[in-house]
């Protein structure tokens, strides 16, 4: 068994009319085959494009013509041939084949059509995700996500953040007691980590100063929404000697940098999915929680001061605010124990959310760095400080003030691609009903 007799010389998108007359070898899948009797057109699809192979019976040998006629949709092939300018072909070029190698035949019928225009239910598509991803409008989303994660890393590294890896098998909750997946850890119970929160804070006591992690978080969300996953990727950051305003500035700069970079480097992907990406300008507006409540009420959606945002409240805010904006000054009582209460008014916290229209894409805060206040906050939220013993120890021997945030990579990808369902931004999503593939 080989990977094909000839080595690939080009990807389809590299074949331009400047190569006319040259011999090339391309490899990929049969996107479509049209047999018009005296001439057969094969559309070969590879990672980034589709190329036309034109086999006129008068120009290719009868054996080769016969072999091409036998080819089936989605089989893997290698084609050696000559490049020819052809205004009628997609991309203005075609290949006149000399050799065709059938590397691996596809079974038919396909469980999912690979033509972009043929629509299918998301569940059918996810069941056969490998076929779904052969469509360039679907794979474009993941190339954009990949570029976004790349530019986030480059940005953070340039700004002196150190990448860390923290455990995903953990002993306690961080974001409140619910939403945890319990697992059996030898003879005791453990959980899948819902956030690296406690570890990134412990790292502030280690002298690393500025850290980030890009890793999975697990949330046992019962509800089935277009914005929630049970396994997501979180871009987490923590910085010492910083307050919430400092890390909000880092966050908005990172967002602007990533959007600019995606717009520049993913032109063809954005064109494929027909998105005209707008680069936001920093600083993003900062809306105080109390003003947000008034705005929500002004849209006819009932919301009382002290409540968390309902979906209806988010939608109301999305109608008023088109781009990225922060909501600041959240009530201390509805934010997690590690959030620092405000200095002037402790009922208002140093927590913020970053929104894009009606979607929350990040939460963050300045944290409590004083041991005794932290114990008090843990108790006030009905939690047992004993379960946080190892975390709390980090606050007793020189913990600097610090702040940080977490951005949902999939939610940010939704902002970049216009995807309405978060499942569109995960290769193999995990939700209430789905654990395979």
Q: Which residues bind ligand AMO (CB under 6 A)?
A: 175, 195, 197, 219, 221, 228-229, 232, 234, 236, 360-365, 404-408, 410-411
Q: Which is nearer to ligand AMO, 58 or 223 (CB)?
A: 223
What angle (nearest 5°) sits at the alpha carbon of residue 400, between those of residues 396 and 401?
Answer: 115
Least Å from the CB of residue 216 to ligand AMO: 11
Least Å from the CB of residue 130 to ligand AMO: 23
Q: Contact at 8 Å (CB) between 98 and 63?
A: no
Cα 165 from Cα 59, distance rounded (Å): 59
Q: Which is nearer to ligand AMO, 85 or 175 (CB)?
A: 175
Q: For residue 311, give both structure tokens.
A: 């979906």
Least Å from the CB of residue 394 to ligand AMO: 16
Q: Which residue is nearest to ligand AMO (CB)?
A: 408
Q: Which is nearer to ligand AMO, 138 or 251 (CB)?
A: 251
Fill in the DSSP letter of residue 223.
S
Q: Which is nearer to ligand AMO, 97 or 193 (CB)?
A: 193
Least Å from the CB of residue 409 to ligand AMO: 8
Q: Contact at 8 Å (CB) between 326 and 287?
A: yes
Q: What are phi and psi of 137, to 5 degrees?
A: -70, -25
Cα 227 from Cα 361, distance rounded (Å): 10
Least Å from the CB of residue 295 to ligand AMO: 20
Q: What are phi and psi of 374, to 5 degrees?
A: -65, -45
Least Å from the CB of residue 194 to ligand AMO: 7
Q: Which is nearer to ligand AMO, 368 or 407 (CB)?
A: 407
Q: Contact at 8 Å (CB) between 234 and 211?
A: no
The tally of CA atoms less than 13 A away on the side-chain side of residue 111 is 10
Fill in the DSSP letter of residue 105.
P
Q: Which is nearer to ligand AMO, 31 or 411 (CB)?
A: 411
Q: Which is nearer to ligand AMO, 26 or 340 (CB)?
A: 340
Q: Report CA-CA distances (Å) from 435 to 35, 181, 219.
A: 41, 14, 14
| DSSP β-bridge partners for residue 189 | 184
Least Å from the CB of residue 407 to ligand AMO: 6
Least Å from the CB of residue 358 to ligand AMO: 13
Q: Residues with Cβ < 8 Å from 209, sequence gap 6 or more?
A: 162, 239, 240, 241
Q: Taking the chain, what is the end-to-end CA distance rounded to the nearest angstrom?
A: 27
Handedness of CA 370, 375, 378, 381 (dihedral sign): negative
Least Å from the CB of residue 109 to ligand AMO: 35
Q: Which is nearer to ligand AMO, 82 or 381 (CB)?
A: 381
Alpha-carbon 24 to chain mean position: 35
Q: Which of 220, 191, 213 is nearest to 404 (CA)?
A: 213
Q: Which is nearer to ligand AMO, 161 or 405 (CB)?
A: 405
């Amino acid at each position: 068994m080989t990977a094909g007799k000839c080595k690939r010389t080009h990807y389809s998108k590299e074949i331009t009319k400047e190569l006319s007359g040259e011999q090339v070898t391309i490899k990929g899948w049969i996107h479509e085959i049209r047999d018009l009797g005296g001439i057969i057109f094969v559309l070969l699809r590879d990672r980034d494009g589709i190329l036309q192979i034109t086999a006129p019976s008068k120009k290719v040998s009868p054996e080769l013509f016969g072999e091409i006629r036998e080819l089936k949709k989605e089989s893997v092939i290698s084609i050696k041939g000559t490049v020819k300018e052809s205004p009628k072909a997609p991309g203005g070029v075609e290949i006149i084949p000399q050799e065709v190698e059938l590397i691996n035949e596809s079974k038919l019928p396909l469980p999912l059509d690979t033509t972009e225009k043929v629509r299918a239910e998301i569940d059918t598509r996810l069941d056969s995700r490998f076929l779904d991803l052969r469509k360039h409008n679907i794979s474009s989303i993941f190339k954009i996500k990949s570029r976004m994660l790349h530019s986030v890393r480059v940005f953070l590294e340039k700004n002196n953040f150190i990448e860390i890896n923290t455990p995903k098998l953990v002993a306690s909750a961080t974001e409140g007691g619910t939403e945890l997946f319990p697992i059996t850890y030898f003879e005791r119970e453990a959980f899948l980590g819902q956030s690296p929160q406690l570890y990134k804070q412990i790292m502030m006591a280690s002298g690393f100063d500025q850290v980030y992690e890009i890793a999975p978080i697990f949330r046992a969300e019962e509800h089935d929404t277009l914005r929630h996953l049970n396994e997501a990727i979180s871009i987490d950051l923590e910085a010492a000697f910083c307050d919430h305003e400092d890390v909000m500035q880092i966050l908005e700069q990172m967002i602007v940098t990533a959007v600019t970079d995606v717009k520049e480097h993913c032109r063809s992907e954005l064109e494929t999915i027909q998105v005209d990406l707008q680069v936001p300008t920093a600083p993003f507006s900062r809306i105080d929680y109390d003003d947000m409540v008034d705005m929500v009420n002004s849209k006819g959606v009932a919301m009382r001061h002290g409540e968390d945002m309902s979906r209806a409240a988010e939608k109301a805010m999305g109608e008023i605010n088109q781009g990225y904006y922060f909501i600041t000054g959240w009530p201390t009582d509805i934010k997690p124990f590690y959030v620092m209460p405000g200095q002037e008014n402790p009922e208002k916290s140093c927590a913020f959310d970053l929104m894009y229209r009606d979607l929350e894409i990040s939460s963050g805060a300045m944290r409590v760095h004083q041991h005794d206040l932290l114990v008090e906050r843990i108790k006030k939220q009905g939690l047992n400080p004993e379960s946080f013993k190892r975390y709390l120890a980090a606050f007793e021997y020189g913990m600097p003030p610090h702040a940080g945030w977490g951005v949902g990579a999939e939610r940010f990808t939704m902002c970049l691609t216009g995807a309405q369902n978060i499942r569109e931004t995960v290769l193999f999503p995990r939700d209430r009903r789905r654990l395979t593939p």
